[in-house]
Structure 1
């Protein structure tokens, strides 16, 4: 049985049955391979450039932080703070 780091486990933690997690100890990655998982990569940033729209600011932050060049039509608000 392969051992997983906690950072690796967080990628697909929600796909492992609760009773398996309750046992404690390492997760059997032959039974629950990483391919079951889904990673959501979120980024954050400050809206501080008055020359750019919020969507353009988000587009720039996504490119800088995640490396994805997302078209403006593919950007959707998830939440905000303050």
Structure 2
């Protein structure tokens, strides 16, 4: 099973928040995921906008999970 770490959109219209999920690469964005490893709320200040379980992030990276372009940009912005 090929796993990808990516963002899944949820929340209200015009007030989107995102879950950071590990999901099978072949599945659609908002379908059932393997594991939720964090969340991102772009409407909050920079210190509290990103909540992520770093241990699980490193676990999935170690397992060879690919990181989506959007999530990679987010990690670069928050210097993780």
Taking structure 2 as the reference length, what is the TM-score of the superposition?
0.21
Q: Comparing both structures, which one devotes a greater share of its residues to strand?
A: 2
Whose helix proportion is higher, 1 or 2? Answer: 1
Q: Report 1 or 2 for greater relative contact order, CA contacts < 8 Å, sequence distance ≥ 6.
A: 2
TM-score (norm 1): 0.21
